[in-house]
Chain A
Amino acid sequence: MALHQTPTAFDDVDPRKRVRNVALTFVAIGLGVLVLMLLESIGSSKLTQSLALFAIWGVATVSLNLINGTLGILSLGHHGFMLIGGYTTGLLILDEAARARILTSARSMMTEESLAISVTSMLRSLGLDALTTPETLWVRFLIAIFLGGLMAAFAGLIVGIPSLRLRGDYLAIVTFGFGEIIRLSASTRLFAEYTNGALGFPGLTSEFGKSIWWTFGVLAFTVFVISKLKFSSYGRAMQAIREDEVAAQAMGINLAYHKVLGFVISAFFAGVAGGLWVSWLGGVRLDFFLFQLTFFFLVAISAGGTGSITGVLLGTALVVFVRQYGDPLEQTYTLQQWLAFAGGALVLMAALAVLFRSLRRLRPRFHWSAGVLAGAAVLAFVIAAIDPAFLEGTFRGFGMRAIFLSVLLIAIMVFRPEGMIGRNEFSWAMLLRERRSGPTDEERGQDAWLTNPVLNPRGTDVDPEAGPQKPTAPGRAAARELDADWDEGVDEASRDGTDGSRAPDDGPDDGPDDERRR
């Protein structure tokens, strides 16, 4: 009996539900469009801009997540890919007036030949004059961001090659190095002909970058492609590489191919995001592509859940919200007010700490750290209340949003490294709280084969129809029995006394255990 022909216990979506899911997806998309129309009709330009920014950064984070989450390589050079996409798009769609201005400007470093590069001239040389009218600007923009994506993908190919030799943090630092090399060389004379040095090109059209429809369209396309990829054989291979490179290689996965593929696709979408980003900003300049861009994406990914597209979008929403609506944090207040805020925040933190510890049934409930927080809060309040004259100066919270985001990232890494939703993806089954007839990921990794009649013809006491469950005691007994027969053993976890089931507190998945051993 060929294994692949047999319906296995893992195949859990029944056809009727699949139809329902597709229908629900279309309804949701329709509802989403309606909501967007509603939000646009409110007419607040800040709101539409923030939504567009969410979509643009969403493209970037979803693509970064392909490397960081699916492939498990920490990549820190995303701002470099975005820069390439951004500059390419900028140069290609710059309008004639802006080109003329750059050419006549005394400080400009661009030449006539470099300024002649544009989608319009390309289309003209192809004889497609119909596409060079002002009404068809959107076609040219589409071509420009596509070409920007291709340029970035080429850079991704180059950056991806070291990933064949290096691993872990060395690879991370190399991607960071590449990102910085791209950024630092963009301003040198060698490339200034195309990048216009430190000046960049002002006066880009924001028609597309600030339009909800364009940005959300690109985001939907990105999410579609990347989620298809994630659940294809390529994506599974990438996830296998993430879990254990050596084991993946032993199973016949071509490491080089999948890693470079991941880098190229991710860089392509980063380039597209870069193109939208310069359009959102209305110009191209070097300092639009600082490392802090990648840092914000990292915060978004970690906050949402590394490896989960849904989670990453949630995280992006959080980061964009802080960036766009966090400006009250950066205004000028008196020191007294600042102290009061700080005291309030500390009280909140202490309360949360106590709540957290009591929910987790940790003892003592009043850990000394909560005491320290509360003490500091009391001190802040006392100073703010007793001595108003002491603190009459004002103080501008310059950079408080960045501080907030970095503190948030540290807190996530310390307290909840898996982020908001871990590696789980959104699915209708999850939303409708449907019980899966198949095993969970965790069971799949451990004693799932016990419930699979193909893999375990002897059968067990576990009823495959009973839904998700931890292996029950008889199941484990069967495992041990088989273990004795089978010298190679089932799984380390079922032998070392923990029975493969983790404490529920342990979080859904906190990375491969192998990481700890290294």
Chain B
Amino acid sequence: MSAPQLKRWLPWAILALLVLLIVWRMLYLGTVSERFNAAFFARAAIDSVKLGSLYALIALGYTMVYGIIRLINFAHGEVFMVGAFATYFLFTITPYSLPGGIALAIVMAYAAMRVTELFRGSMRDPLVLGVGVVAVVGLTWALTSFTWPFWAALVGSMLATGVLGLTIDRVAYVPLRTAPRNSLLITAIAVSFLLQNVGLLAFTNRQTPFRPDTPLNDPFTLVVAGQPVLTNNLLVAIPVITLVLVLALTSFVTRSRLGKAMRASAQDAEVAQMMGVSVNKVIATTFLLGSILAAAGGAMWGLNFGSLNQPATLGILPGIKAFAAAVIGGIGSLPGAVIGAMIIGFSENFMSALFPRTPTFQGVTEFKDTFAFVLLIIVLLVRPSGIVGEDLSEKV
């Protein structure tokens, strides 16, 4: 078989082999104990889909930013963390006092204006200004007068976190647009470390319960092969919300004017600039959208696990796993990020499902967190362009 043919078939052969091995292992486990029935693996699959959707929301931010400015935005995991805590504070400690409410309302209104601007093209557009005015007044009223339901907290946190993304870009990355890429990466690490410690200082330094009063948490029983699998509405809600957000993002990127500018900048920022694209604005938009998605991911992460880790550790592992997902799928590609996230989600859950803690198998689940790194390194070494990505080999 010739080399190109081999190159085409080998991944599929490996995949088929992997699937066969997994099925064989599942059947084998079924013979070992009653516990490992269809419902057991259905639960693992459900958890995988949920986790994969959450990783996808984070991975999209990584992939968009890397696609345009070739920066591994280390701070993205911390943006996700801030999104989770912002949601928490919006549904627990509302109503706010008037000064706090006004300040928060201004922040959120600014994000709302930026989001409206994506469709209108200018901050001076009457609709954008109108949204701003209405949002400041409305949000101030809402923040100071009643406890927010979960969905409102989710939207509010997405807006507030969007502003955080814009701020990070403006303060730390804009001055370094022409700097060597290593400086940019070091700055990103510094921003990440800063946000971790500010989070510790400003939010809390311990595990936080995250149980909003929302129908999404209601129990829901699924019947698989005659056996009930107890789960909750999140099974549907997380993938659906993710799907809606991803579709909205994809249609924005493929259809709108700014989306076209985004794709142009990803292809070649310099030429795009020459063609009249405001690359800085495109990058700011990327940060805005990425942070909004990460905040949604953070809020649902809290819902899914029922609690939030302390701020210094919450963002790191999901962030790095989502980055691994983005690389596996092919960095710079939106569908690639989702595919990669699902791969990470499934591998993580099935590693513990296929190799449960038995006297003979002690070690495998302990390598759950390590596995994402191993996968990342293998993909980078073997196929740096990922599953669907284009070749990113460096030009000399």
Chain A interfacial positions (CB closer than 8 Å to B):
72, 74, 76, 162, 165-170, 172-174, 176-178, 180-181, 184-185, 187-190, 246, 291-292, 295, 298-299, 302, 397-400, 402-403, 405-407, 409-410, 413-414, 417, 510-512, 515-516, 518
Contacts and interface: CB of A to CB of B under 8 A. Distances in A.
Given A246-B396, A406-B191, A189 B363 contact: yes
Contacts of B191: 406, 410
B380 A414 contact: no
Contact of B377 (A178, A406, A515): A178
B220 to A, nearest CB: 34
A168 B320 contact: no
Contacts of A72: 182
B340 to A, nearest CB: 14
A302 to B, nearest CB: 6
A168 B14 CA distance: 29
A181 B324 CA distance: 14
15 contacts: A166-B380, A168-B182, A174-B380, A174-B381, A177-B373, A184-B367, A184-B370, A185-B370, A295-B190, A295-B193, A402-B193, A406-B197, A410-B194, A414-B187, A417-B183
A410 B181 contact: no
A75 to B, nearest CB: 11
A127 B172 CA distance: 60
Q: Quick one: which of B186, B370, B394 has the most chain A CB within 10 A?
A: B186
Nearest to B372: A177
A234 to B, nearest CB: 22
Nearest to B365: A188
Given A409-B187, A410-B191, A402 B197 contact: yes
B27 interface: no
B8 interface: no
A406 B190 contact: yes
Contacts of A291: 316
B237 interface: no
A168 B182 CA distance: 7
A399 B377 CA distance: 32
Interface string B317-335: 0001001000000000000
A71 to B, nearest CB: 12
Q: Quick one: which of B176, B197, B366 has the most chain A CB within 10 A?
A: B197
B180 interface: yes
Given A173-B376, A405-B193, A511-B183, 20 more contacts: A76-B189, A162-B380, A166-B380, A166-B381, A168-B181, A168-B394, A169-B182, A174-B376, A174-B377, A177-B373, A177-B377, A180-B320, A292-B193, A398-B201, A402-B193, A403-B194, A409-B193, A410-B171, A410-B190, A410-B194
Contacts of B172: 410, 413-414
Contacts of B72: 169, 172-173
B185 interface: yes
A512 B200 CA distance: 38
Given A188-B366, A189-B362, A518-B395, A409 B190 contact: yes
Q: Binding site of B, secondary structure by majority: helix, strand, loop or mixed? A: helix
Nearest to B369: A184
Interface of B: 70-72, 171-172, 175-176, 178-187, 189-191, 193-194, 196-198, 200-201, 205, 316, 320, 323, 362-363, 366-367, 369-370, 373-374, 376-377, 380-381, 384, 394-396
Nearest to A180: B373
A406 B194 contact: yes
Contacts, number: 143
Q: Quick one: which of A172, A413, A414 has the most chain B CB within 10 A?
A: A413
Contacts of B367: 184-185, 188
A173 B380 contact: yes
A169 B181 contact: yes
Contacts of A189: 362-363, 366
Nearest to A166: B380
A232 B380 CA distance: 33
A176 B77 CA distance: 15
Contacts of B200: 398-399
B205 A398 contact: yes
Contacts of B70: 169, 518
Nearest to A397: B201
Contact of A181 (B189, B194, B373): B373
A511 B201 contact: no
A516 B182 contact: no
A515 B181 contact: yes
Nearest to A395: B201
A187 B367 CA distance: 10
Nearest to A177: B373
Contacts of A190: 363, 366
B298 to A, nearest CB: 21
Nearest to A401: B197
A298 B186 CA distance: 8
B363 A403 contact: no
Contact of B384 (A166, A177, A178, A188): A166
A174 B185 CA distance: 13
A413 B377 CA distance: 28
A409 B183 CA distance: 10
Nearest to A161: B381
A170 B395 CA distance: 15
Contacts of A397: 201
A185 B369 CA distance: 9
Nearest to A246: B396
Given A180-B373, A518-B181, A298 B189 contact: yes
Contact of B363 (A172, A188, A516): A188
Contacts of A180: 320, 370, 373
A165 B381 contact: yes
A177 B180 contact: no
A505 B358 CA distance: 66
Contact of A512 (B180, B198, B369): B180
Given A180-B320, A295-B193, A402-B193, A413 B183 contact: yes
A184 B320 CA distance: 14
A410 B205 contact: no
Contacts of A292: 193
A93 B391 CA distance: 50
A414 B175 contact: yes
Contact of A413 (B190, B196, B374): B190
A511 B194 contact: no
A413 B384 contact: no
